[in-house]
Amino acid sequence: MIVQQLNKVIYRPQDRPIVFDLIFEDTVKSAPLIVFCHGYKGYKDWGAWGLLAKAFASQGIAFLKFNFSHNGGTVQQPLDFPDLEAFAQNNYSKELHDLSCVLDWVIENHEEGNAIDLKSIFLMGHSRAGGIVTIQASEDLRVKKVITLAGVSDYKSRFPKGDALRRWKKDGVYYVENKRTRQQMPHHIQFYNDFLAHEARLDIERAAKKCTIPHLILHGDDDQAVSIEEAKKLHVWSSSSIYKCIEGGNHVFGAKQPWEDSEMPPNLIKVWAEILDFINN
């Protein structure tokens, strides 16, 4: 039977809590574990991610998906963005710290040889989080494989430039509209300053070149948000990578929020099949 431990919380003394789901087949012992990281303006329950988690669990692969602590959600309301001040305080360093804390929780709460195989921990990141998992994989020996879905190849180029950057520095905040929720999503200048302070670590090219574990790169050729050329760059840089193009796939592989169908969209099923093959071989 598939067990879904939903909206569990990792409380941390000095940091905001992390809300997560753990989905697994309770008859499977020593299951490989995928730790999934959502992208920009995303969260663990967006679209068809829940169906993807259950699809992996049905094949004996445990799946942990979590909200970054500053993604704009809260423990009480983990969907959407009730806490825009937290969102404004997010940055890449915090997301890497959150991911490390999640991996720490996995190790501390699961004994070797029990439900989860601690020697088979895999990271999966969508969009912006493709960079996060690539950096983490290059640094963390606990990670055995890494998967990037529509992943970005560079962070620096995504910051405002010229007059827009000067206005951001002067005002201390700039806003991006969330077209679905109609919210103006704030970004404090600390986001940019933190990147500059940790630019070497946050260089995805450097991390990809350093990464020696198996790396699956999946990208749709109809992605209007992140060019498929970024996937091709990652493939060149990551020496142990496999690159697969999902024909007709958009940035979210056919999913949307809310996703009300009982089945995943066809292109996300293709993604699932490619990942299964990658994990099992």
Please indicate whether residue 77 or residue 115 has the higher confidence score (pLDDT).
77
262-271 average pLDDT score: 98
User: b/e per residue, 93-110, with b = 16+ CB within 10 A?
Assistant: ebbbebbebbbebbeeeb
Residue 115 has what pLDDT? 84
Of 49, 76, 75, residue with least CA distance to 63? 49
Residue 110 has what pLDDT? 86
Residue 65 has what pLDDT? 98
Of 281, 232, 275, 223, residue with least CA distance to 254? 223
What's the chain's length in residues?
Answer: 281
Going by their DSSP bridges, the two strands 184-188 and 215-220 should be labelled as unpaired
Residue 180 has what pLDDT? 95
Which residues contact residue 64 at a Cβ distance below 8 angstroms, ignoring those fewer than 6 apart? Answer: 20, 21, 22, 23, 33, 34, 35, 36, 102, 106
CA–CA distance, 43 with 162 (Å, rounded to integer): 31
The radius of gyration computed from the CA coordinates of the chain, to the nearest angstrom, equals 18
**Contact status, residue 90 vs residue 70, Cβ threshold 8 Å:** yes
Please identify which residue in the block is written with the tokens 């992140």.
226
Asked if pLDDT for residue 195 goes beyond 90, the answer is yes
Asked if pLDDT for residue 250 goes beyond 90, the answer is yes
As a whole-number percent, the residues of the chain with pLDDT over 90 amount to 97
Asked if pLDDT for residue 217 goes beyond 80, the answer is yes
Residue 229 has what pLDDT? 98
210-231 average pLDDT score: 98
CA–CA distance, 246 with 27 (Å, rounded to integer): 33
Q: State both tokens at 213.
A: 């574990």
Asked if pLDDT for residue 160 goes beyond 90, the answer is yes
Asked if pLDDT for residue 274 goes beyond 80, the answer is yes
Roughly what angle, to the nearest 10 degrees, separates helices 92-109 and 190-197?
Answer: 70
Quick one: pLDDT band at residue 201, thresholds 50, 70, 90? very high
Which residues contact residue 137 at a Cβ distance below 8 angstroms, ignoring those fewer than 6 apart? Answer: 123, 143, 146, 207, 211, 213, 215
251-259 average pLDDT score: 98
125-135 average pLDDT score: 98
Quick one: pLDDT band at residue 192, thresholds 50, 70, 90? very high
236-256 average pLDDT score: 98
Q: State both tokens at 16.
A: 């905001």
Q: What is the DSSP letter of 242?
A: E
Residue 228 has what pLDDT? 98
CA–CA distance, 218 with 133 (Å, rounded to integer): 14
Tens digit of each residue's pLDDT (9 = 90 or more) over 97-119: 999 999 999 999 987 667 899 99
Please identify which residue in the block is written with the tokens 């496999």.
242
Residue 150 has what pLDDT? 98
Euclidean distance between the first and the last CA atom of the chain, given in angstroms as a whole number: 25
Residue 258: asked if its preceding bond is cis (omega within 30°), the reply is yes
Of 120, 122, 119, 127, residue with least CA distance to 147? 122
Asked if pLDDT for residue 272 goes beyond 80, the answer is yes
3-state secondary structure 149-200: ECCCCCCHHHCCCHHHHHHHHHHCEEEEECCCCCCEEEEECHHHHHHHHCCC
22-33 average pLDDT score: 94
162-169 average pLDDT score: 98
Residue 113 has what pLDDT? 62
